[in-house]
Every structure is written in structure tokens, then in C-alpha cells.
Structure 1
Amino acid sequence: MTRAAARLQGNHQLTLLEGTRELFPALIAAMDAAHTLIHFETYIFDFTGSGAELAEALLRAARRGVQTWVAVDGLGTGAAPRDWQQRFAEAGVQWRVYSPVNTLALLLPTRWRRLHRKLCVVDGQVAFCGGINVLDDFHDPSWGALEAPRLDFAVRVTGPLVADAQQTVALLWRRLQAVHDLRRREPLQAVHDLLQNGSGRGEAMAHGSPGARAALLLRDNLRHRKHIERAYLKAIGAAHHEVVIANAYFIPGRKLRNALVRAAQRGVRVQLLLQGRYEYFMQYHASRPVYGLLMQAGVEIHEYAPSFLHAKVAVIDGHWATVGSSNLDPLSLLLAREANVVIEDKAFAQQLRERLLRAMREEGKRMEPTHHGRRPWPQRCKESLAMLVMRLALMVTGKRY
């Protein structure tokens, strides 16, 4: 996909999906209707609860002859349970792991580049993109059962964008397959496949109204290093009335911080829905030192309380929206493979905006600048340590943020 392919195109039909309770039935319906090919990518594939229902849909598709290709991240997922490995192998589900890891491998900065995007393309006709892993809404691998579902979103798309998504997943799959063939001592075939990894572009059917414009934005370490971040900066810089952002791991760099501050200073109402529950040390604590600067400029910060916030979405001026996998932190914006759909459509943007504002009113807690300024010294020490760890990690990778 070239830079030109990332321009907004019309004639899309878009459906906002909240959580696995809406995404999984839509995915399963598409998989059950598949005729030729299912391409599926995810960071986490967990077989607990509703995750097993999605796995069963993949089995059904493969058993009736649909090529079923699943790519997962080596850190987020690793090896599938043995019984599922056997069932997938017998049915013909092909399972590939992106950048398998062990303890020693994680000491290499190049292995910190993860497959964090969540993409699915079925028959080259429909695509799904968002932040939702194959992970039951009420289950967390580290924290166990959750009292309330995590908050996250995805989008179902038909239209020209699907061809770009097909090209994206096909390219990565060919590379994973080439590595797989090399490990099985099939080097000539692997090299041939890698050389043939051109466009892989599918023909997407165009549905929906011409007013629904959208584009697929990627983040990788080659041609798409800054596309998602630039889209945020451009939209925030052009905002006239309102910026609403929900982001799970929010550690904005200097450019993004300045864009939010300038927007607030010129009278734009900037509202952030951020993680209110402790999940990971660095992401939770390293985000808090920037809160004071933002609130001083007039930015409103709401912390989501009922469960884990996992969303990576935004709405600006009630017509521009994005839904995807990219956090606004250095891991997403500098290292990981990410995918966001950017949308120019009032109906879609308003639907997402209403849900985020309701979450702020009913499920969040607004942070007060005075309370934030009186944080106890143990909390400040943790924040300083987390920020130091993050900066040292960036220094090792050679990245600046």
C-alpha cells in the first residue's frame, strides 16, 4: 500500500462494534458465510469463554474448504493449547506466530516490535479492524474474571478500503509463510514466495453511501512509520469545537501533547477518557506526569473505572473518527505494527461520540487538577521510575519520542 492508498475514499458501509459481544457475532457470521479465504491477525488469541466460539467458527470454515489463515503475535499469544493445535491441524486452519519470543530474545530491542494490529478480511469483501483481541470481555489472562466488560471497539467495513486491508494481511502472511518454509527446510519455495509477495490485492465490493469516506492507516517500521500519529496531529490541529479521545495506554510525545494543549488554548473542548485501573506498571504510572500540563491548559481527563479500558478511538468535531489498535504511547507509535481506520462520516462519528461521552458521565471519574497536584510522594516515585524505564527502553532502541 502506498501513501496515496491511505487517502480517504468514499462508498463505504461502516458498522461500529463495541466489545467482543458485538464483534464476535459479526466475525462469526462473516466466517460462516466465507467461500474462499479468511485472513485473521490478532495480538492475543485466548481460547477462554467466547474466544473458543470464534475458534470454532475458524474450524467450521476450514472443514468446508475455506483457506483459513491465522497470524498471532509471539508475545501476546505464543503457542496455542495442544488440543486446539491438534484440532486446527486436522481441520486445516493454518496458524503462524509473528516473532516468537523467549526470555533471551526479549533482551534484543529488535524483538520488541510486535504484531499489535487486529485485522480480519473475509473473501476480499468485508474487513474488520479495531483494538479488540480474541479475548473474552469478562476474562483477563493476568487478572482473571472481570466484574464488568473491558471497553473496546472495532469497525466492520465494506467498500474500497477492504482491498487495502487484503493487501496488508496478504503481505504479512507471505512473509510468515516464507519463514515457516525455511524452518521446514524448504528454502527455495520460501524465497520464491517472498519474491512473489507483491500486491496480493483483493477486489472489494463497494457498498454503502458515497458520504461514508474512510481509509486504512498502518504503522510499521518501513513505509508507514508516522501515518497514524500524523493523522491524529492533523485532525487535532484542524479541530474547531471538540476533541474526544479514548485511549488505553496514553503516554503522548511532545508533538501530541503540544497539539492537545494548543487546541484547548484556542477554545476547543478537549476530553480524554483514559485508563483508571492499574494494569501494567509502565503504562499506568508513566502516563500520569503529563496530566498536570494538560489539565493546566484546560484539557478534561476522565478515568474509566468499571473495568479495563482498552479502546483506541477518537472523534473530532463530530465528523472525523478513528478506530484501531494504536495506543498513543511509544510502544504503538514507534515499535509495533498497528492498524487504524480513519473515517469521515457524521453518523458514525456521532454514534461513537455519544458512547464515549456516556462512558465519561456514567462510568468515569473526572480528575481534578488540585487532587492530581497533591499526589503522595510514593506515587510520584513510581511515576518517575516508570518514566525512567520508558526513556531507557527508547534509548536502547534508538528512538526519539
Structure 2
Amino acid sequence: MNYNWKDGNDVELLINGEAFFPSVFEAIRAARHEVLLETFIICEDKVGSELQRTLIDAAERGVSVEVMVDGYGTADLTSEFITAMASAGVRIRAFDPRPKLLGMRTNLFRRLHRKIVVVDAEVAFIGGINFSLDHLSESGPMSKQDYAVRVCGPIVTDIHQASRRLLTYSPQKPPQPGYQTSFANAINRFAGKARILLAVRDNEEHPNDIEEHYLHAIRSASFRLLVANAYFFPGYRLLRELRNAARRGVHVTLILQGESDMPLVRLCSRLLYNYLLRDGVIIYEYCERPLHGKIALVDHEWSTVGSSNLDPLSLSLNLEANLIIRDATFNHQLYEHLQDLAQASCKRITLKHTMRGYWWRVPLIFLSFHFLRHFPAIAGWLPAHSPRLKLLAPAAEESAELNQHEQPGIRFDREKAS
């Protein structure tokens, strides 16, 4: 399926869980027909419990509720948590679930990393925020700085279709939408002024779409380019284009992690600093708390918000979803926010700073660049599989489903996953 630019959309920036969770829960509470939810992580904490209650309430009033979680990111839900939702009619599916080995999760590659919520095919949310307490500042100094958007308009039809298409990975046939698609399309016509395109990354039809949109935007930049990304270890082409943009006079700024929740990724990012700084790229490290955002803007109009990091997993392996947004008002709002973030909560990295101890990093830098240059080919050697969604249900219901669809051997052992 190809996705095209859609005019006439309204887009709202949601910063951190404080803005995201209330907006999503309000939309689900107002749902009349259907809720589709995809996420990498649901935790059994304050946020996960409120999500559970909200989805159960929707299902009990007759709303069709489909929840898709990743079998790696959400491997620790208990049977009680799952059963409470499934018994109320919420259908919960895990993407490629596998039992743990010696207490360790084994399904590392090709994950469902998208974060999408679609309600009644009328309103949708896309971003990088999982359903967990660590996206709220009350969780402490390791709470995440992150972003999502709420959209209405014709683009919601594409997001809705993409999310329902994911359900085809399940052996259990999903129910049909409880409303006329033509009606949903009609009410999605005129909502705002933003032009938006849905960009997805999968291992079938769209393996490079998100990266290609980034490359096109960087090459077309005329005066400013600002990227804020949590896990920055992009492919060689993206690195080269960032450097080329700075060389031709574009004001290129990167905001990266200074307080990392994954120290190894931060180390990898820092191996690239010298390459970028020496050609005029400006680099800030966000030091207030872990940066988890995946956002960027170019010039006065182009922006992107979504789930895709600029690292090998997101660009070559995971299922991801970003919105590409052309709207001057949204671009300006994002720019003002990131400028404030850079000035108030970041430290600027200098070339002099990166040259300290440079001699011992030279071999690592050499290996990093060759790894990035060849990673698309390397990715083809990593474990491949046919993606699947496994229905998580109470034991009796699960047994009936397996017998009906003749799918032995794919039972998800919740005791090992909890």
C-alpha cells in the first residue's frame, strides 16, 4: 500500500505524557465504534492501569477494541492484567511473542515499535510515547522527554488503514469496522490546513520510506535543519547528507541524549561527533533527563514526529510509523520549543571537547563508519521470520481459538512472560 500526501488536516503537538495520556484517554472514552491501539510497551503501573480501565469501559459499552503490543517490549504483562481486559471483550495481540530463555527475552530483532492510537477512524495519535509511568515527570529524574501528535482530517483514514492492515498478521480474523468507511472518509475531509503524509517502515513494501523522507528533506533544506533524536546512530547516507547540508550553509542542529537510558547507544552516537562537528554541525546534549523523542524540522514548513529513531534498529529492522507534516504554524511551534530546550536544558558539544582522547577512539570510529555503511546488507543476515500477531486471551477462550483456526504450536506462555 502506498501512502500519499493528504491536505486539510489539523495537527496538535503533545509534549510528554502530561499532554499525551489525557488526550488519548479522553478520545477513547468518547469512542462510539472502534479503538485501534499499537504500542511497544504497556506497563502495569499507574498509566497502564488507567489505560486498562479506559479500554475495558469502552469494550463494555460495545466499542470494538483491538490492542497490539510488541512481544519483546511488553513481555511482562501478567495473566491477571490480560484476562481482565480479554474477559471484557478487549482483543489483545502480541507481535511475535516468544518464551524467555533463562529469564532473558530472546526476540530482539524486527520489533513492533510503532505507537499509534486510532479512535472511530476520526482522530489518531502517533509519536514515541509508550504507556508507562516513566513518560510522566512524577516518576523522577529518569522520566523521559518525548513527543506525539494528535491529528484529525483525511490523514486519519491512512493511519486507520495501516493499523487495520497490521491485524492481518493475526491468524484470528479481526472483526470488520462497525461503521461505514465511506462515512468515516466524509467526516475526515476538512479539519485544518496541514498537509500530512504517513510514512511507515516495514520489512515488506516499505523498508526505506522513513529514511528516504529524511534524506529528501535534508537535501532540500535551504537555511535550517533541527533534529532531536533519542538514539542517534544513523546510516552513512544520512550522516553524509547532514554534513553536506552544513557545508552549503544550512544551520544544522542536533539535540541528542546527554542523560541516557541506554549508555551504549550514547557511546555510539559520540563516535560520530567529530565527523559532524568539523563541518559545522551544531550538537547539543539534553541533560535534564533521558531524551526519548524522534522529531525533526526543516526550514519553515517541513516537520516529522513519530516512533522512528535514527539508528539501525529503526531504520532497517523495526516496524515504525512517522507523520511527515507540512505546516508553517506547527513547524514554528516545534522550532520554538526545541530552541528553548537547547538553551535551558542542554550543553553544547565542541570540537575541542570531542578531540580529547581522540587517539584511542580512532579504531572504534573507523569500525563504526564501516558498520553504518554496510548495515543494510548486514541486516539481511539477521533472523528473518513471517511477522505474526498472537491473540492473548483467557485459557478457555484461547483454546477455542486455537482449535477453530488449527494453529497449534503458537500458544503464548504467559507464565514465562510475566
AA partner of residue 172 (structure 1): L
What's the counterpart of residue 184 of structure 1?
none
AA partner of residue 122 (structure 1): V
Deviation at 1:395, TM superposition (A): 6.5
Instruction: Tell me which of 237, 244, 247 is aligned to 1:255.
Output: 237
What's the counterpart of residue 249 of structure 2?
267
Instruction: Tell me which of 33, 36, 48 is aligned to 1:36.
Output: 33
What's the counterpart of residue 95 of structure 1?
92
Runs of 4+ in 1 over 4 A off after TM superposition: 103-108, 207-210, 376-396
Deviation readout 1:187-207 (Å, 9 max, x if unpaired) = xxx6xx79x99xx96734236
| 2:193 corresponds to 1:211 | yes
Query: Quick check: 2:235–2:372 contact (8 Å CA) kept in 1?
Result: no
Paired residues for 1:59-98 under 5 Å: 59-98=56-95
Deviation at 1:161, TM superposition (A): 0.9
AA partner of residue 72 (structure 2): L
Q: Structure 1 264/387 Cα, relative in aligned 2: closer, same or farther at 3 Å?
A: closer
Query: Quick check: 1:281–1:386 contact (8 Å CA) kept in 2?
Result: no
What's the counterpart of residue 185 of structure 1?
none
Deviation readout 1:144-171 (Å, 9 max, x if unpaired) = 9432641111111111111111111111
SS of the aligned residue for 2:97 comes to coil
C-alpha distance in 2, partners of 1:271/1:208?
35
C-alpha distance in 2, partners of 1:78/1:389?
30
| 2:341 corresponds to 1:359 | yes
C-alpha distance in 2, partners of 1:138/1:381?
37
Deviation at 1:24, TM superposition (A): 0.7
Instruction: Tell me which of 267, 276, 292 is aligned to 2:258.
Output: 276
Deviation readout 1:54-91 (Å, 9 max, x if unpaired) = 22211111111111111000111114223322321222
| 2:305 corresponds to 1:311 | no
Deviation at 1:94, TM superposition (A): 1.1
Q: Structure 1 379/294 Cα, relative in aligned 2: closer, same or farther at 3 Å?
A: closer
Task: Between the two structures, name the one with larger relative contact order (CA 8 Å, sep ≥ 6).
Answer: 2
Deviation at 1:235, TM superposition (A): 0.7
Instruction: Tell me which of 138, 161, 164 is aligned to 1:167.
Output: 161
SS of the aligned residue for 1:252 comes to coil
Deviation at 1:95, TM superposition (A): 0.8
What's the counterpart of residue 275 of structure 2?
293
Query: Quick check: 1:18–1:154 contact (8 Å CA) kept in 2?
Result: yes
AA partner of residue 221 (structure 1): N
Instruction: Tell me which of 347, 351, 372 is aligned to 1:369.
Output: 351
Paired residues for 1:108-147 under 5 Å: 112-137=109-134, 145-147=139-141
What's the counterpart of residue 187 of structure 1?
none
Q: Structure 1 388/233 Cα, relative in aligned 2: closer, same or farther at 3 Å?
A: closer
C-alpha distance in 1, partners of 2:305/2:111?
19
C-alpha distance in 2, partners of 1:157/1:392?
37
Instruction: Tell me which of 327, 337, 357 is aligned to 2:319.
Output: 337
Moved more, 315-324 or 75-84: 75-84
AA partner of residue 343 (structure 1): I
C-alpha distance in 1, partners of 2:76/2:168?
20
C-alpha distance in 2, partners of 1:301/1:226?
26
Q: Structure 1 71/147 Cα, relative in aligned 2: closer, same or farther at 3 Å?
A: same
Query: Quick check: 2:235–2:373 contact (8 Å CA) kept in 1?
Result: no
What's the counterpart of residue 398 of structure 1?
380
SS of the aligned residue for 1:86 comes to helix
- For structure 2, list consecutive stretches of 5 or more residues without a partner in the other structure: 383-418
C-alpha distance in 2, partners of 1:118/1:342?
15
What is the TM-score of this pair, normalised by structure 2? 0.82
SS of the aligned residue for 1:121 comes to strand
SS of the aligned residue for 2:210 comes to helix
SS of the aligned residue for 1:116 comes to coil
AA partner of residue 23 (structure 1): F
Instruction: Tell me which of 19, 23, 38 is aligned to 1:22.
Output: 19
Q: Structure 1 150/384 Cα, relative in aligned 2: closer, same or farther at 3 Å?
A: farther
RMSD: 3.0
Deviation readout 1:246-293 (Å, 9 max, x if unpaired) = 000001211101110111011100000001123224422212111111
Paired positions, count = 376
Query: Quick check: 1:12–1:158 contact (8 Å CA) kept in 2?
Result: yes
Q: Structure 1 48/387 Cα, relative in aligned 2: closer, same or farther at 3 Å?
A: farther
SS of the aligned residue for 1:92 comes to coil
| 2:213 corresponds to 1:231 | yes
SS of the aligned residue for 1:100 comes to coil
AA partner of residue 237 (structure 1): R
What's the counterpart of residue 243 of structure 1?
225
AA partner of residue 15 (structure 1): E
| 2:332 corresponds to 1:350 | yes
Query: Quick check: 2:223–2:299 contact (8 Å CA) kept in 1?
Result: yes
C-alpha distance in 2, partners of 1:327/1:220?
14
Query: Quick check: 1:138–1:146 contact (8 Å CA) kept in 2?
Result: no
Q: Structure 1 107/84 Cα, relative in aligned 2: closer, same or farther at 3 Å?
A: closer
C-alpha distance in 2, partners of 1:375/1:337?
37
Query: Quick check: 1:285–1:382 contact (8 Å CA) kept in 2?
Result: no
Query: Quick check: 1:286–1:387 contact (8 Å CA) kept in 2?
Result: no
- For structure 1, list consecutive stretches of 5 or more residues without a partner in the other structure: 182-189
